[in-house]
Structure formats: C-alpha cells, structure tokens
Structure 1
Amino acid sequence: MKPKIFITRKIPIPIINQLEKSFDVSIWEHEDIPVPQKVLEEKIAEIDGLFCLLTETINKELLINATKLKVISNMAVGYNNIDIEAASKKGIIVTNTPGVLTETTADLTFALLMATARRIPEASSYMREGKWETWSPMQLTGQDIFNSTIGIIGLGRIGEALARRAKGFNMNILYHNRNRKLQAEKELGLQYTTLEDLLKKSDFVCIMTPYTPETHYMIQKEQFLLMKDTAILINTARGGIVNENDLYQALADGEIWAAGLDVFEMEPVSLDHPLLTLPNVVTLPHIGSASIATRMKMAEVAADNLLLVLNGDIPKNVVNK
C-alpha cells in the first residue's frame, strides 16, 4: 500500500503527477480558499506526509492526532505557521524551501521600494481617474533612490540579494543583523550598524529578518520616532515584525513618509484595514516569490523533501534537525 499524503492547495500538475507515482495523493482542490482546520484535523490522522503552505496553522493541538505523520513539507522559506517543538517531540521532520526564491523576492522588494518612492500606483490611479489635466512642477513628486541610503534589517540570502541591487543604484548600504557578515561587507561595501543608527540614517528601511518571538513588533512607535520624516518602510518579510497600528499612526502623523508592504500580521487583509486607506502606502497580497519559475521550483523542492523523507532519506532542508 502506498503512503498517504495530503496537499493543502492545488500545485502544478507535473508535481502532482510526480508524487502520484509513489503516494496515495489527496488534494484540497479549492485554489483560492485555505483548507478548513476541521478538514485538516481529519486528514492529519490518516496521512504519512503533509505538503502545506504558510496559510495552514500546524499547531500542537492539530498534531495530537498525527499518529502516522512522518514529514511536514512547507512550501515556503518561513515556517512560523508550524509548531516546530510539537512536531519534533512526535518525531516529525519539518522541511522548507530556502534558496530558490532568493532572487525573485529581492526583485519584488526593490520593485516595491521603487513603486513606493516614486508613487507609481498613486500616479497610475491619478491618470486613470481623469485627474491629470496639466503638468505641474511638484505634482506627484516622490523620493530619489539613486545615491540614497538604504538600511537592511536582516542580512540573510534575500537581504544580501537586495544589497546587490542597491549597489547598482549607488546606494549607501547599512545593515543590522545578529552577526556581522564580513565577506558581504567586503564584496558589497556594506556598513554594519546598530538598529537605532540604521533607523536614524536610512532613507529606506527594508525588513528582511525572519519572524521569531524576538522579532515580534521589532518595529513599532519607538522605532518610527527615530526615522526620518522622509523615510520609507518596506516590509517583505513577515507582518508580525511591524506593529501595524503604530505604523498607521506614524504614516498618518507624518512621522515617516511612506510604506510598501507585501506582508501583514493577519492575511488575507480585510478591505477595512486602516493601512489600505492611506495614499502613501503601497500594498501587495504577499507575492514576494510569485514568479512562475520560482513557484514551480518551490513546489519541486517541497515535493522532493517529502519524497526523500518517506523513502527513508534526510533532505538538506530540514528545519528541526
């Protein structure tokens, strides 16, 4: 009898075909609706492998019924949706998909930075709404990017990739990280600094750090007060790193100039979310890795991780070794 696996969302057909050669595969077919927790509770009791997304909450209560489960393959770099300690206690291997989305997410981060600085979505709406009646010297003016200062909080793979893009724009690059990256400093001309110094000096503050208990609300009122009133905050990491209420107030009060957000504390975001009411906020629906090639590669890696574990091998992308 083939091992049973459950996939919590429709993924590319070639990946499903590959998995069906080795496993009894069931899939949550509703592409735009996350699998209900009740369905997940029923499935978790009978499967050997789980292929899931960040949208699924894999907590201790859910894992109580996971009597056969050997592997949770998360199609993402982050894994804060999974109770790693609870999985480890039950001997369940948890894997992720790092590396394959580095350049794509860095592209999106820099695109969001540029769109926010130059007010591109706002200008497009202005034109489409028939408001463009003449040229005016200060009409829809934004912030310069070339020769400005960027502060990168979290210099992992994606942070370094973002720094390479910033270097092409001749930006002064500051970074704050748990550990200094001397090789990156040498190659990219980066300057290591404290978080406080970074916030005070940066024209663009880019959050690239993982979401952990230590980084929860890492950026809130105190940090916004340190930033320039012309500064722009960019967050493509995780929503919980920023206190959204404090961010709204900082933007509304002119403590900072603008924000570009691909992530939110609660996703999907409701239409009455206060940040969606501000003209100086560019918002995206968590599309950092959303290129066709990258999403295909992420699915391939997640499938390979699952295959390896259920075949008795250990993949390199284990997060609870």
Structure 2
Amino acid sequence: MKPVVLVTRRLTDAVHERVSRDYDAILNPEDRVFTRDELIEACQSVDAVLPCHSEIFSAEVIARLPARLKVIANHSVGVDHVDLAAAKARGIVVTNTPDVLSDATAEIAILCMLGAARRGSEGDRMVREGRWTFWSPAFMVGRQVSGKRFGVVGMGRVGQVTAERARGFGMEIHYHNRRRLEPALEKGAIFHETLESLLGAADVVSLHCPSTSDTTGMMNDAAFARMKPGAILVNTARGALVDEEALVRALTSGRLFAAGLDVFRTEPGGNPALAALDNVFLLPHIGSATTETRDAMGFRALDNIDAVFAGREPGDRVA
C-alpha cells in the first residue's frame, strides 16, 4: 500500500498530479483553511503531511498527532509555524523548501523597494479613483534608488539574490548577518557586525532573516530611530520581525520616507493602520507566488517525502 499524504492547501496542478501518482493523496481542492482541531483530525489517518505556513503545528498539535505520521514536509522556507523541538521529541521529521523561491522573493523585494520609493500605492489609487487631474514638477516626487546604499538584514539565499538584483541599480550593498560571508559570496558587499551599524548606513533596509525569539520585533522604535532620516524599509520575510505600531509612528513622523511590505503580523488581513498610509506599498504575502516557483516548492516538498519513505535522509531536514 502507498503511504497516505495529506496536502493541506490547494497547490498547483503539477504538484497534485505527482502526489496523486506516487501516494494515496488527500487533497484540499476547495483550499479550505483548517482549524486547529480539523488539522489534528485530518492528520490522524496519514503517514505524511504537506502543509503551508497557514497550518500551525504547535507543541499541543504535535502532541496529538498519530504515531504513524513520519514527516511534516513544509511548502515553505520559513518553519516558524512548526514547533521543531516538539516534532523532534516525537520523532517526526520536519523539512522545508529552500533555494527554489529565492528568485521570486527577491523580485518582490525589489518591487516593494521601488513601489515604496516611487510612491506606487499612492499613484495607483490616484489614477484608479479619477483624482489625477493635474501635473507640475512638484507632483508625486519620490526617491531614486540608483546609486544608493542597499542594506540586507540576513544574507542567506534570498538575501544574496536580492542583493544581486539591487546591484543592477548600481546600489552599494551593505549587510548584517550572524557571520560574515566568504569573499566569493560577499561580492564586495560591506559587512556590518551589528544591526545598529547597518541601520545607520543604509538608504534602504531589506529584511531577509527568519522569525525567531531573537528577531521578533527587532524593527522597533529604537531601530527606526537608528535608521537614516528618510530611509525606506522593505520586509518580504516575516511580519513578526516588525513592531508595526512603531513602524506607523516612524512613517507618520517622517522619520522613514516609506515602507514596502509583503508580510504582516496578522495574515491574512494585514494592518489597517499601515493600509491607511499613503507612504506604504502593500502586497498580500505573494513573495513566492509564481507558477514556476510554486511548482518547484511542491516538488521539493515531495522530494523530501520521497526520501523519508525510501529510508534516506531528506535533503532539507530542519528537525
């Protein structure tokens, strides 16, 4: 008999075809969001689960999973929605999907930077609402990013690709990371040992680090006060990195020129206080939302499931 695999959300047709071919697949074609109890119940008769970040595997949920469940193969790079220690204690393998979404997420980071710098949301609303009735040299003046300093917080796979895209604008790359990169990966980027040093140097600060107990709320009042006056914040990583009330204060006071955000503390939904501001460019967490990337993410998760049931170590194991 084939192992039973639960796919918690509607994935691409190509991924559904493969999982249905190789496993006894339980799909969710209606893309219904599971409640906690529904998730626990749905996992009772499966050998593997392929979830997204929308499914929260807390310690309490993991404690109620059946002994037959061998692997949680996440359709995401971030794994902050899974209690890794609890999974490890239960002997459940946890994997993620690194590498394959770096290009798509980097594209969104650049879009957020440009949308924030050039007042994209404000201009879009003006045209759509029929309020574009005048022009002058002082009309809709934004910030030019070419030749400015692009600061990367978290120089992992996505951070490195985003830095490479920013180089295309002639931007000088600065970064803060837990450890300095090798020169071949650094490519001339300027390393800052502390976040505070980076914040004071960059014209654009782009977040690419995971959400952990150390990074939650790292962008707070003190952090914004250290940023250059008129700087731009970009976040395509995790909403938990930013104290959103502090960000509203920094944006309304003029301390920051603008922000470009693809992630929020509350998802779905976002933050109404941020949405009310003209100087915020907003997207609904679509960093990896291309057909090519979503296919690759699903295939990568299935590669990890294949490895577990073949008795091999999965390549993307995180717990």
Looking at structure 2, the residues matched to 186 and 225 of structure 1 have their Cα atoms a distance apart, in angstroms, of: 28
Looking at structure 1, the residues matched to 225 and 179 of structure 2 have their Cα atoms a distance apart, in angstroms, of: 25
Letter in 1 for 2:44: A
Correspondence for 2:255? 255
Looking at structure 1, the residues matched to 267 and 186 of structure 2 have their Cα atoms a distance apart, in angstroms, of: 38
3-state SS, counterpart of residue 256 of structure 2: coil
Correspondence for 2:9? 9
Looking at structure 2, the residues matched to 159 and 55 of structure 1 have their Cα atoms a distance apart, in angstroms, of: 23
More displaced stretch, 68-77 vs 195-204? 195-204
1:232-266 per-position Cα deviation (integer Å, ceiling 9, x unaligned): 10000101111111111111121211111000112
Looking at structure 2, the residues matched to 106 and 277 of structure 1 have their Cα atoms a distance apart, in angstroms, of: 26
More displaced stretch, 227-236 vs 310-319? 310-319
Correspondence for 1:135? 135
Looking at structure 2, the residues matched to 101 and 37 of structure 1 have their Cα atoms a distance apart, in angstroms, of: 27
Q: How does 1:103-114 map to 2 (within 5 A)?
A: 103-114=103-114
Q: How far apart are 1:184 and its partner, in Å?
A: 4.6
- 1:269 aligns to 2:269 (yes or no): yes
Q: How far apart are 1:40 and its partner, in Å?
A: 0.8
Correspondence for 1:245? 245
1:163-208 per-position Cα deviation (integer Å, ceiling 9, x unaligned): 1112121112111111011325652x21011311211121101111
Correspondence for 1:41? 40
Looking at structure 2, the residues matched to 133 and 273 of structure 1 have their Cα atoms a distance apart, in angstroms, of: 27
CA RMSD of aligned residues (A): 1.5
Whether the 8 Å contact between 1:28 and 1:35 is mirrored in structure 2 is: no
Identity, % of aligned positions? 38
Correspondence for 1:298? 297
Letter in 2 for 1:166: A
Whether the 8 Å contact between 2:14 and 2:295 is mirrored in structure 1 is: no
Are the structure 2 counterparts of residues 250 and 308 from structure 1 closer, same or farther at C-alpha, using a change threshold of 3 Å?
same
3-state SS, counterpart of residue 205 of structure 1: strand
Letter in 2 for 1:311: A
Letter in 2 for 1:43: A
Q: How far apart are 1:284 and its partner, in Å?
A: 0.6
Are the structure 2 counterparts of residues 174 and 40 from structure 1 closer, same or farther at C-alpha, using a change threshold of 3 Å?
same
Q: How does 1:1-321 map to 2 (within 5 A)?
A: 1-31=1-31, 33-66=32-65, 67-184=67-184, 187=187, 189-193=188-192, 194-269=194-269, 273-320=272-319
Are the structure 2 counterparts of residues 254 and 308 from structure 1 closer, same or farther at C-alpha, using a change threshold of 3 Å?
same
Aligned residue-pair number: 317
TM-score (norm 2): 0.95
Looking at structure 2, the residues matched to 50 and 185 of structure 1 have their Cα atoms a distance apart, in angstroms, of: 35
3-state SS, counterpart of residue 86 of structure 1: helix
Letter in 1 for 2:157: R
Letter in 2 for 1:252: T
1:94-145 per-position Cα deviation (integer Å, ceiling 9, x unaligned): 1111001111111111111011101122112212222222321111110011
Q: How far apart are 1:23 and its partner, in Å?
A: 2.2
Q: How far apart are 1:13 and its partner, in Å?
A: 2.6
Letter in 1 for 2:294: R
3-state SS, counterpart of residue 173 of structure 1: strand
Q: How far apart are 1:30 and its partner, in Å?
A: 2.5
3-state SS, counterpart of residue 257 of structure 1: strand
Looking at structure 2, the residues matched to 57 and 173 of structure 1 have their Cα atoms a distance apart, in angstroms, of: 35
Q: How far apart are 1:279 and its partner, in Å?
A: 0.7
Are the structure 2 counterparts of residues 125 and 245 from structure 1 closer, same or farther at C-alpha, using a change threshold of 3 Å?
same
- Mark the runs of 5 or more structure 1 residues left unpaired by the alignment: none
Looking at structure 2, the residues matched to 19 and 13 of structure 1 have their Cα atoms a distance apart, in angstroms, of: 10
Q: How far apart are 1:291 and its partner, in Å?
A: 1.1
More displaced stretch, 132-141 vs 80-89? 132-141
Are the structure 2 counterparts of residues 14 and 166 from structure 1 closer, same or farther at C-alpha, using a change threshold of 3 Å?
closer
Letter in 1 for 2:18: Q
Are the structure 2 counterparts of residues 8 and 105 from structure 1 closer, same or farther at C-alpha, using a change threshold of 3 Å?
same
Looking at structure 2, the residues matched to 16 and 186 of structure 1 have their Cα atoms a distance apart, in angstroms, of: 39
Looking at structure 2, the residues matched to 267 and 244 of structure 1 have their Cα atoms a distance apart, in angstroms, of: 13
Whether the 8 Å contact between 2:121 and 2:279 is mirrored in structure 1 is: no
